[in-house]
Amino acid sequence: MKHKRLLMILMTMVGIAALGGAAFVVAEPPAPEVSSATLYREPQPAGLSEMPVAGAMPDEDGYAGPVVEAQIEGGEASGEGGAAAPVDWEAFFTEPQPDEDAGVAADDVSIHAWSNFYYLNVTGTALRPRDSTVTWDNDGTGGCLYQTGGSTLEIFNIHLHIPPGSRIDYLRLYYYDTSSNSSIAWVTTYDNEGGVDDLINVSSSGSGGYGTMLSPYLGHVVDYASDSYVLNWRSNQTGNSMRLCGLRVAYRLPN
Amino acid sequence: MTRSRKLRQWLLGGCVMLVLLMTAGPGAVLGREAIAAETMASGWSNFYYWNVAGTTLRPRDSSLDWDNDGIGGCLFQTAGSTGEIFNIHLDLPPGSRVDYLRLFYYDTSGATSSAWVTSYNNAGGLVDRTSVTSSGSAGYATLSPYLGHVVDTFNNSYVLNWRSNQLGNSMRLCGLRVAYRISVAYTFLPVVMKNA
């Protein structure tokens, strides 16, 4: 009888200790290397000495004070102003698009192991030339880029990083084109040892101004252990009659 | 000593240990830092990689000129001070751990290029976390020592840098690859507890 009572006490205490241990693990994750509070207490350069402790600002967890909403629509922040007539890219779509979830058949067995679409969307003016002999400008809004000098065979590029193991399905090119030439965008992989592979490409079409074109389906699973990925654009035309307004990569995550 | 007396002593001893545990907490037994370290040691994913082509870096100073190797993967400096630097933003998942930096290069020069990771605290402070150099004129890839830095994007921005130390295509940056791990220490806990 005595043993039974002792056993019951022991079991109860083990249970309580287990709960306490779990609470300890949840409540105390490893501390970050340098806490913001510690950093903010260190001497700050002139103008930054008033920085508050962590949690006191709207962009920090735990903040409960008033929030001032952004009121910079229309481009006041850059002073550049918006486009006189903003482009309605959706107006170019007269039917469901294969790089949008609404355009994919529900019974498409090829997507069952993958998530809905995610997008990496890059503004044209974020790209830079691979060669410093090339000069460039933007359309005034800062969204569309065009080449102003240098060989039209040169290339503008930007690093492409999407979640490891995800699948690139499509590349969409947004452009302004009143030229008789066509620009081209593509995705390249480099193995850092001299190997290169252009995975997919898409060209601007016609000369009617703003437009968007979609690449064929790719279905490439990214592998950053072996390759780096780059977005490229070649204008094939100098001047603002050929502009790169954006590149959008449609990808899926493994389910 | 009778068997029941032995059992009673064992049980009493166990009770005393449990009371100590409950009053002082697990940290008092192993030390909280030790527990954290132990959790970290077993709580990291396999390697992930942030892999950038050399030609996606750009100079920090507009006085520099640069070109590429023709296929577009490797970059080299054509003019300007060889003390200047090419860089690119490094965007790793918050809380992940940077373990290594690998430099891919082409080097037939007598000079040595160097690459490194820098963190800036946006208030004038910076730390060069790890570095690696091109070695000699034969190799094409070198690996940094182990770093083990946990990414803190609340306080820091991270940048990849490269300095050619040489003009011309005899010294090319072909790529930089950061090997990092993601923390998986708490993924076994129920969702409600993880978010508690």
Determine the average pLDDT of the residues in B38-51. Answer: 79
Out of B7, B14, B186, the one facing A3 most closely (by C-beta) is: B7
Max CA distance (Å), chain A: 98
User: Which positions in chain B touch A13 (Cβ < 8 Å)?
Assistant: 15, 18-19, 22
The pair of three-digit structure tokens given for residue B71, joined into one six-digit string: 């296929």
The pair of three-digit structure tokens given for residue B121, joined into one six-digit string: 């605290």
Residue of A16 and A189 predicted with greater confidence: A189
Residue of A22 and A87 predicted with greater confidence: A87
Global confidence as pTM: 0.73
The pair of three-digit structure tokens given for residue B80, joined into one six-digit string: 């300007």
In chain B, residues 90-119 whose CB comes closer than 8 Å to chain A: 91, 104
Rounded Cα gap, residues A118 and B93, in angstroms: 17
- CB of B73 closer than 8 Å to CB of A192: yes
For the purposes of burial, counting CB atoms within 10 Å of the CB of A112, is it exposed (0-12), middle (13-18) or buried (19 or more)?
exposed
Predicted confidence at residue A164, as pLDDT, reads 92
Q: Is the pLDDT of residue B129 over 80?
A: yes
User: Tens digits of per-residue pLDDT, A48-94?
Assistant: 444 456 667 777 777 788 777 776 555 556 666 655 567 887 788 87
Q: What is the ipTM of this complex?
A: 0.72
In chain B, the residue whose alpha carbon lies closest to the alpha carbon of A36 is B155
- CB of B119 closer than 8 Å to CB of B126: yes
Q: Is the pLDDT of residue A210 over 60?
A: yes
User: Tens digits of per-residue pLDDT, B158-171?
Assistant: 999 999 999 999 99
User: Tens digits of per-residue pLDDT, B93-117?
Assistant: 999 999 999 999 999 999 999 999 9
Across the interface, do A192 and B104 touch by the CB < 8 Å criterion?
A: yes
Across the interface, do B25 and A20 touch by the CB < 8 Å criterion?
A: yes
Percentage of residues in chain A having pLDDT higher than 70 = 69
Out of A16, A29, A132, the one facing B65 most closely (by C-beta) is: A132
For chain B, list the strands marked E by DSSP: 44-53, 58-59, 65-68, 75-79, 86-89, 97-107, 114-120, 126-133, 141-143, 149-150, 157-163, 171-183
Q: Write out A228-252 in H/E/C secondary structure.
A: EEEEEEECCCCCCCEEEEEEEEEEE
